[in-house]
Amino acid sequence: MRLYLASTSPARRALLAQTGIEPVLVAPGVDEDAAVDAARAELGRELTGPELVGLLAVAKADAVADARIAGSAVDGFVFGGDSAFEVDGVLHGKPHDPEVAKERWRQMLAAGGGTLWSGHCVVDRRLDRGADTAADAATDRTGGAGRAGTVPPVRRVDAPGGGPLGIAGHLGDVAPGGSTLVAAGDHVVAVDSAVLTFAEDVSLDEIDAYVATGEPLEVAGAFTIDGRAAAYITRIDGAPSAVVGLSLPVLRSMLLRGFGVAWHDLWAL
């Protein structure tokens, strides 16, 4: 069973590969700033962390789900993801500029940490799926073995009722460190989050040296836990993979609870 990754992120691909899944990488070509600006203008307010990452995850997945890859229609599941780091109520994306990255790090260290929001969208584009939809499967799936409450149930919703945010408008409030999943038609959308704590003794020289490597410039929050910044993070409350850009346990639950598909069905054997 094929998984299309609406991203060219090496980190997301590596996460999936280490679990036995070899995705088809496709650049979604979404104007993220325009999408966020349009939603913000229609809502008349700033987007919350869950709303922002959910909106962009859906936009990326939809862009690939309706595309033709090498002249053929998509046949499988399409995953779109997005991340943002929230510090003291302010959302941070990719800094791009070294001076912006340094200032972000000063703010993050002053606050002691923050919340990484990770948005997920899976679209079912299996050509042989018949009449089954994510919503139908979600009604029957309550999840597998494990502690009760570790993953929230999939809620069935009507996509048009989400307002300017579409399906992402149904995500609701998500507490830092929590997650939520909703299903509408052939879409399942989720937000996972992790609360990070930074070391108290990181110096300005260390910040300068880290930014000089260029690693933090094109990643949400200006850091990576699978790179040089790992030494500056002392605690993660939540799925570590969510901080990398794709919560593996939540993606597994989306597939199982939303579509009745087992994780191992996607393994490249």
Q: Phi first, then psi: what are they for 24, rounded to 5°?
A: -90, 115
Q: Phi first, then psi: what are they for 107, rounded to 5°?
A: -65, -45
DSSP string, 176-204: TT-EEEEEETTEEEEEEEEEEEE-TT--H
Q: Point out the catalytic residue in the list 62, 82, 186, 192.
A: 82
Rounded CA separation 59/197 (Å) = 30
Query: Does 136 qualify as catalytic in the annotation?
Result: no
Q: Name the 3-class secondary structure at 119.
A: strand
* Spatial CA neighbour of 55 closest among 29, 32, 22: 32
* Spatial CA neighbour of 137 closest among 265, 263, 256, 259: 259
* Spatial CA neighbour of 152 closest among 123, 132, 172, 125: 172
DSSP assigned state of 92 = E
Q: Cα angle at 241 between 239 and 246, to 5 degrees?
A: 110
Catalytic positions, please?
82
